[in-house]
A and B are shown apart, each in its own frame.
Chain A
Amino acid sequence: MYNLIAKIGEGALNLCHETGGLLHLLFMVIKSLFPPRFDPGEFLRNLYKMGVKSVPIIILTAFFTGGIMVIQASVFVKRFGATSLVGWGAGYAVFREVGPILLGLMFSGRVGSNNTAELGTMVVTEQIDGLKALGIDPMQYLIVPRVLSMIIMLFLLTIIGDVIAIVGAALFGILIADVSFAAFWTSFSQNVHVADVVHGLIKAGVFGFIVSLTSCYAGMTVRGGAVGVGRAVNNAVVTAALGIVISDYFLTYSLS
């Protein structure tokens, strides 16, 4: 019994510590943005690296997500004989929920965890101390460019992903679910609104922010050599997933 209480207490303390650390990092990032003081070269390099590196994975994910959604929609729709609803159902689900969440998770897995591994390696090989020793602020040189690039890139990649997912849905609708392209398109274009897309893109921006903050924090607080880096990557993706899902809940509420 005593042990259990001690464990809960320890967990709570840990949670406070981590939350405090994240908030501190957030504060430092904001401080470096007003007025903007960050390395433009690093910013561009990260935009390129994070964007280009993720395009294949985002396309694959989006394509199959579209496929999965159209299959699920047709399981439902066929029993009612309402194939005219497939395009709408798939589009609505992809734009508002499934797209941003799955793409966010994949982005966290690809870019976020890569970022944690990179920063963590820099910590354990004293490269961060090396930067400080050269009088360069790691906040401005490393963190802020990464945070900004991740937010921008997830937002842009979600736009690409949305398009690809709809293409995937239309294609597999024709191939597997007996939905003609015309029927799919009519249903899609008449019922899915710009508001649905905007709803999803706002989420993508927030998810990008969450992934960037959690992955930078996990990377900068690595301890214990190469083994510690692996552990940090694991923590980073888990925290990001929790953050994405929980913020999705609140966003869905407040955007509707």
Chain B
Amino acid sequence: MSLEKFMNEAISPWMKEEGPDSDIVMSSRIRLARNFEDIPFPIIANKDELEEILAMMKNNFQQKSFKNYHDLEFVKMIDLKTIEKRVLVEKHLISPHLAEKSDLGAVLISENEQVSIMVNEEDHLRVQLYFPGFQLEQALEHAFEMDDWLEEKIDFAFDENRGYLTSCPTNVGTGLRASVMMHLPALAITQKINRMIPAINQLGLVVRGIYGEGSEALGNIFQISNQVTLGRSENDIINDLKSVVQKLIEQERKARQMLGDQRAVQLEDRIFRSYGVLEHSRIIESKETAKCLSDVRLGIDMGYITNVSRTILNELMILTQPGFLQQYAKESLSPQDRDVLRASLIRERLNLENSY
């Protein structure tokens, strides 16, 4: 398969669109946790009960369309190869938990891959909706409509006092996890982000790197999301998150301008060194890839690099992960072989760019 075709299939259609503030906000996500009223949660349910949920979701929603989310495809985890599951995880369409722990799990995915409904994960249902750029309100609006649409067929576990009942006490109430994925290279270079994170945590929001382990944020990509789900309305939760994200956007833009004004040569050097590494290396590991991609993307956003499209960071962050590399190679690869393939895939991708 050609790289171009592989990429077209690998990158979710919605990711190719540019949303508001997409120079900094890569995507907005809404996740709702929902459970069936009369069936124990997956942690304790027996096989028959989980099968009942699978059958119910398949019979009622397979190949159904809602708004512009067409032809929901129903896929059972048990029918997927390990690599295929890994690819879905790397595309953020399913969680690692569903891929690894839920034998009787499944997922419904819309054709444009903007909607995915995980079945029999920690909760019976986890409805996820992605929007490009900074569009939390639109995402919530659609998620609500989706929720109502599902409720036409399902009796959700709901209590007047506690709200939507979930397996974990950290999700009860709204069952809402709203998150925004942000590229914050200038705040990272100037080390401002480290000072901002504790303040953001104080507001009941969580900041974490989306790639990489622990507190490390590979590619300077951060995910900001709400912690509290009980006692606040969905709109209040979204508004809190929105105002913090707006502040971060402001600060990131200021830091970029400051870098451009005061350390222009150093910044330009850093950006073009990274560009050079991506263009010429023959062996590259994921950590260095992430750093270089972040620099190049910053270079594009600040006008230093003009012949490369902005979506390259989003695309290559996903494509250069182990699952995708092995799917591209159609075989399992050792870490060393992956580093070689990763370098060649990046070179090819940049060549593709220059040929347009």
Mutual binders A and B: no
